[in-house]
Each structure stands twice: as C-alpha cells, then as structure tokens.
Amino acid sequence: MQSRTHTCGELRLADAGAEVTLCGWMENFREVGSGLGFIVLRDFYGTTQLVAETEDIISKVKSITKESTIQVKGTVRERSAKNDKLPTGEIEVVPTEITVLGANRHNELPFEINRSTEADETARLKYRYLDLRNPLMKERIKLRSNVIAALRSAMIEHDFLEITTPILTASSPEGARDYLVPSRKHPGKFYALPQAPQQFKQLLMTSGIDRYFQIAPCFRDEDARGDRSPGEFYQLDMEMAFASKDDVFAIIEDVLPPVFAKYGTYDTASKAPFVRIPFAESMEKYGTDKPDLRIDLTVSDVSGVMSDIGFEPFAGNTVKAVVISDFHESRKFIDKTCEEVEVVAGRKPYWFRVDENMEIVGGIAKFVTPIKDQVVSELGLEKDTLVVLSAGTLGEAQKTAGVVIKTFGGKLENHIDREKYEFCWIVDFPLYEIGEESGELEFCHNPFSMPTGGLDVLLKAERGEIDPLSIMADQYDLVVNGIELSSGAVRNHDPEIMIKAFELVRLGEDDVKAKFPAMYNAFTYGAPPHAGIAPGVDRMVMLLAGVDTIREIIPFPMNKNAQDILMGAPGEVTQAQLDELNISVTALEE
C-alpha cells in the first residue's frame, strides 16, 4: 500500500503509539470548541476517528469539503470515550499532516451518503458512485462477490468445467424479446445478445463435455419487476451429460443450502432432499406454482358447498377458500388486505368470520349462515377464524386464492416463519397448453423439455388415444420463499422425438431445422441424454440480502424503464455510425 500503512477498519488498541498513514473519504467534521474537532474518515474497510487538536489542522480540515479524498498522517492513541459499535472504536488518530488527494468540488451532495438508500431512486441511480459509498450498499456488493465465488468454488468441486459461451449470436425464439446488434460487415443482418446460453450448453453436451457451468450474462428485452431487472441478468448456468433430473437435484441441493446458510439474512435453509410438488398439486393446494412454504395457509375447494348459496359471484363458478385460524385482526385490516389482493389478482376476494361464539359474521355471512353447519364441517372451522374466498374459472379462482395466501400470510406473524429459506421443487409441468390468444395447442413452457413417456406418448396423442394436454414434461422449477429461482429440464435430445413434439403444435421438421439448425443437426450426430438448470444469481443475492428489489444488489442497474441514467443509455448515435451500419432511423410518431 504505497500511500497508506493501514486501512480505516484495521487499527486496534495494540497499535497505540504507532505512526500511521490513512487514506479515505472525509465523511464528517465536527468542531466542539476552541482547538478541538473530530473527523470521521471512511474507506472500503471501515471508519476511523481523527482528532484535530491544533489550529493548523482544524483550519486545514475546515477548508476541505465533505466526501473529498484525503491522506492523513498521524499517531494512534487510545480513545477516552470508546465506541464499542465500531471495530476501531477503542482508538483514534491524531493527525500531524493532511493532504487532499481528490477534492469534492460540490458544496452540496445529492443525498447524505449514509442515508442514500432513503433517497429518490432516480437520484441514487444518477449518482450511483455516491450511493455505493454507503457502507450498506458496499456490503451488498461484497455479498454478491462472495456468493458468486462460493458458487463457482462449489461447482468446480463437483467436477464442472467453467466455459464461457458467445455474447454475439443468432436470434432465436426463446420466449422473450431479443436485443439486436446490427452487423457492419453484413448489411441488413443482425446478431442477437443471448437470452440464455441454452443452445450453446446443449451443444457442449453433444461435444463431449460432461459437466458445464458458467456465471452467465443473459439479455432479455423485458419489463422490470421487483425481482427482475430489465436488460441483463446473471445466472448460475449448468448442464450435465448422461443425467436425469435426480442428478441435477442432487447437485443443486448440495450447492445452494450452504451458500444460503452462510451468507443469508437467515441462517437456516432447507436440507436435502427438497420437497417435490407436482405442478397440478401446487396450483390446487397453494394457488400458484411458486408457493412460499414458510406460510402455513393452503387452499380448499368449496365449489360443492358454496356455488349454490344464492351469492351471484359464486353461481356456477369454481369457489376456493383459504382458512386462516387464530385470527384477531380488525375489519379495517381485512378490507385493506382484500383490496391489495384484488389489485394483484385482478379479481375480488370475499370473506366471512367465525367469531368466539362460533357464529358466522361479517362479509358474506348472510349467504353462508343458512349452511353454517355444513361449512363448519367441510372446512373444519373453529372459533376466531377468517375464511377468504375466491371465485371464477378454475384458473381465476386458483390465482386469487394464491394471492390471498401470499398477502394475508405475509402479514400475519402467526402464519409465517420468516427466519429461514424454504426450498421446493415444482415438477410434472404440462408440456402443452391451449394458447390464450390462438385458442390452439402450444408449448406450455420449454419446447426442448423431454416429454415424460418419450416418443410413445406423443404418438398416442397424435392418434387421439390420449389428450395432448395430459402429457407431462420432464421439467422442474426451483422455488424459494415464494420466488422462482430457476427453471430447468431434462432435454429432448432425440431428433425424432423433437420433431414429433413440434408437429403437435403445427410445426414440421423444416420449421425446427430453420429455427434451431445448429442444435438439430448436432443431435443427429449422436447426442447424450442431458439435463440442466440455471438459478438466477441476482435473485439469489436479493434473497440473501433480504431486500425487496433486485436493483439494490446490482452495482449499476437500469431503472424501471430500462434506462441507464448514469451513463445515458440508451442514447442517440451519430449519422456516421448509422451510415456505417446501413441503418436509417425513421421519424417516431408523436
């Protein structure tokens, strides 16, 4: 360390009497009378208190603006008023010389550094280099680095080979919009940034690579959400040759829990094996394929009891109920939470209570009271219980009930165990679904997943012997605390099975060859069975840090509108650049 002997988090009582040189940002200066002042010096490693005791030093410090970088030479001594909240709280440094290394030339900061997370997000992103000076933000970036290092180490210990795959590639239908890059050498043609290394990692399996992984950048032109950043994200991408889903599960169940237990806000994480829940069961029991198993609430079907009680929203519909026992909140709480459910689910929930006298009260009580005994028996109701109901088509009722569980359960401390990471696998996804817009058979999720039952089940569907909607895919999702961390699958590596799977959605062999030429051709040269998964690193770190938005753990994130307001991206380019790429920009309609 050429310009310093110690960091600002390093000095201890044993260093008393030492002559030291420190460097960092001047966080604060407080003058407490004639000839005495206290300075807080901060660097990446911590803070150290400096005590100015001469007029020359005080005068020098007064001329320096906060957040300037300075070098301080001085003597370490024991503090009289110790601060046991700081690692350096037993000592202070008495400066003999202060040198400004980089002056802050602004009299006012856009926000207070140590409270930057409370500032407007636009200001934080515009001045991200100041936001990241906040020790809290620094710890989140350190956490991200440590987590990635731990994941990389664990994968290498499991004999996975780290291989980077191309960033400039061909556009392919992966389910989201591509980011396109124009080619200078090939006018009118475009590269695409990869939505995921999916095809490349499968090609590696056909190349004889047995176990592959990388911390992979992925690019998707998607709208932002709390757990999704627009533009780019990173995932722990992995693939295994000659593997089943059980092999993938074994690796993930060995790699992730120690990382979550060591680096997480909570020190408890699910042990192997994780709970496996079939997709249909998850939708029926939890109203979602992303259940938060920390919440002890589940869904019951009460269509047979409730659909004919004279309440119009229930008539002829599927009716689901979420029973919340030991409930003592107010009517105001119920109404407010139901409003939140409606905003998220798009459908209104209904409710009634069982009071301390086992009477049906509140909400739609007048419709339920005539069948009180049947309802109490059907749902096993006890006193002080809230019942929240949803109605509509099966999918609508399930979705609303799922939001009820998440919204009410997340607020009621007696129904959620917050202090842990609860993992589960969602398995047995349907291979096909009826498209909402087309009204025809479409792939439900990943078209490259191996159908459970292989070619035989596809031929049966083609002959009309079974319903195509009954075909399951050997696909799986990893969910933790109600957040989907990853999707994966046993891949469809057999060209014959692949062609037949696509034929059922009205795409022939020529379509497959045209859309996925490299992968299809590679599979014709003898591909091994293979399977993989790709847990999202950003979501993982978000969960470990205990924050609600993914932008808090990304060093330089875009805002919700996919803008990098720090660097000014996206931005305009010169006409010369456009001409070189043979691109013209048309006038945008107002």
**Lowest mean pLDDT, pick from 169-178, 447-456, 498-507, 579-588:** 169-178
Q: Would you state the pLDDT for residue 230?
A: 83
In sequence order, what are the beta bridge partners of 491? 449
Q: Which has more pLDDT, 517 or 478?
A: 478
Residue closest to 537 by CA, chosen among 160, 237, 154: 237
Query: What is the arithmetic mean of pLDDT over 327-349?
Result: 97
Q: What is the pLDDT of residues 95-153, one digit of tens each?
A: 999 999 999 999 899 999 999 999 999 999 999 999 999 999 999 999 999 999 999 99
Q: Would you state the pLDDT for residue 455?
A: 94
Q: Would you state the pLDDT for residue 438?
A: 84
- Over 90: is that where the pLDDT of 227 sits? no
Q: Would you state the pLDDT for residue 590?
A: 58
Q: Would you state the pLDDT for residue 589?
A: 66
Beta strands in 481-518 (DSSP E): 483-490
Q: Identify whether the C-beta of residue 490 lies closer than 8 Å to the C-beta of residue 497.
A: no
Domain ranges of the chain: 13-102, 136-272+533-578, 295-415, 423-528
In sequence order, what are the beta bridge partners of 113? none
Dihedral angle over CA of 523, 528, 529, 532, nearest 10:
-90
Query: What is the arithmetic mean of pLDDT over 567-578?
Result: 93
Q: Would you state the pLDDT for residue 381?
A: 96
Confidence label for 3 from pLDDT (cuts 50, 70 and 90): confident
Dist CA 446 CA 451 (whole Å): 11
**Single-letter amino acid code for the residue at 220:** R
Q: What is the pLDDT of residues 254-283, one digit of tens each?
A: 999 999 999 999 988 999 999 999 999 999
CATH of the structural domain 136-272+533-578, one choice from 3.20.20.60, 3.30.930.10, 3.40.640.10, 2.30.30.60: 3.30.930.10
Q: Per-residue DSSP letters for 430-441?
A: ESEEE-TTT-SE
- Over 60: is that where the pLDDT of 226 sits? yes
- Over 70: is that where the pLDDT of 502 sits? yes
Q: Would you state the pLDDT for residue 1?
A: 54
Chain centre distance of CA 143: 15
Q: Identify whether the C-beta of residue 421 lies closer than 8 Å to the C-beta of residue 480.
A: yes
**Single-letter amino acid code for the residue at 266:** Y
Q: Is the peptide bond before 273 cis (omega within 30 degrees of 0)?
A: yes
Q: Would you state the pLDDT for residue 531?
A: 97
Query: What is the arithmetic mean of pLDDT over 431-437?
Result: 88
- The CA distances from residue 461 to 419, 449, 509, in Å, are 46, 17, 18
Three-state SS sequence of 178-193: CEEEECCCCCCCEEEE
Query: What is the arithmetic mean of pLDDT over 521-530?
Result: 95
What are the tokens at 253? 């169940």
Q: What is the pLDDT of residues 475-490, one digit of tens each?
A: 999 999 999 999 999 9
Dist CA 449 CA 250 (whole Å): 19
Q: What is the pLDDT of residues 48-81, one digit of tens each?
A: 999 999 999 999 999 999 999 999 999 999 999 9
CATH of the structural domain 295-415, one choice from 3.30.470.20, 3.30.1360.30, 3.40.50.300, 3.30.70.3270: 3.30.1360.30
Query: What is the arithmetic mean of pLDDT over 408-416?
Result: 97
Query: What is the arithmetic mean of pLDDT over 427-454?
Result: 90
13-102 placed in CATH 3.40.50.1370: no
Query: What is the arithmetic mean of pLDDT over 566-578?
Result: 93
Q: Would you state the pLDDT for residue 342?
A: 97
Dist CA 401 CA 300 (whole Å): 9
Q: Is the peptide bond before 570 cis (omega within 30 degrees of 0)?
A: yes
Q: Would you state the pLDDT for residue 173?
A: 66
Q: Would you state the pLDDT for residue 171?
A: 86
Contacts of 438 (CB under 8 A, 6+ apart): none
Dist CA 387 CA 376 (whole Å): 11
What are the tokens at 349? 């929930």
**Mean pLDDT score across all residues of the chain:** 94
Does residue 462 sit in helix, strand or coil?
A: helix
Q: What is the pLDDT of residues 137-185, one digit of tens each?
A: 999 999 999 999 999 999 999 999 999 999 999 987 666 789 999 999 9
Neighbours of 180 (CB within 10 A): 13
Q: Per-residue DSSP letters for 109-174?
A: -SS-GGGGGGS-HHHHHHTHHHHTTSHHHHHHHHHHHHHHHHHHHHHHHTTPEE----SSB----S
Q: Would you state the pLDDT for residue 132?
A: 97
